[in-house]
Amino acid sequence: MQTARFFFLSCLILAAPAQAEIYKYVDENGQVTFTDVYKKGAKRIDLPGGPAQLPAKAKSPRRVSYTPSPADFPRIDPGTQKRRDDIRRQVLQDELTSERRNADEARRQMTLGERTQPGERTTDATYLDRVNKLRTTVQQHDQNVISIQRELANLK
């Protein structure tokens, strides 16, 4: 009889549906990530038979940044944290300067690359391929500049 109860309870537990919320996050590079942890800018995905169709519970999404630290977690004194923030700010400033320089160079290369070679037409596949690669490079550098500026703006 004990074995039958254990088997019955095991079947009930295994048959219970999983209730995890799924989020879809697309970063600035277009990389798509599916996760069960909420991330700023992520969209909740409602799957058939998932939690959205179950009775609604007052449940907020889990946010990684709001997880409280354990009581014995080491604390950083304000002076040390300020020095770390200053170093981070300086590194980001240096990266921003470098990335702007790279973007300017990519624009210069694109200007040169848009010129047609002798015997080449603007409709040739080699010309179009070359110009598209140069434009993509310029766009990538511009996106990097925007991302670094966003990181700098997020600093305290």
End-to-end CA separation in angstroms for the chain: 64
- Could you tell me which residues are beta bridge partners of residue 33? 25
Report yes or no: 47 and 23 within 8 Å, Cβ to Cβ. no
Note whether residue 70 is domain-resident.
no
Q: Considering the entire predicted model, what is its pTM? A: 0.51
Q: Are 120 and 97 part of one and the same domain? A: yes
Domain boundary among 10, 33, 63: 63
Note whether residue 12 is domain-resident.
no
What tens-digit pLDDT sequence spans the chain (156 residues)?
A: 667 666 665 655 555 555 567 888 788 888 888 787 887 888 888 766 655 454 555 455 555 556 677 777 888 888 998 999 999 999 999 999 999 999 999 999 999 999 988 888 999 999 999 999 999 999 999 999 999 999 999 886
Q: Are 85 and 143 part of one and the same domain? A: yes
pLDDT for residue 75: 84
Domain ranges, residue 56: 18-63
Burial class (CB in 10 A: 0-12, 13-18, 19+), 153: exposed
Q: Are 47 and 111 part of one and the same domain? A: no
- How many domains does the chain contain in total? 2
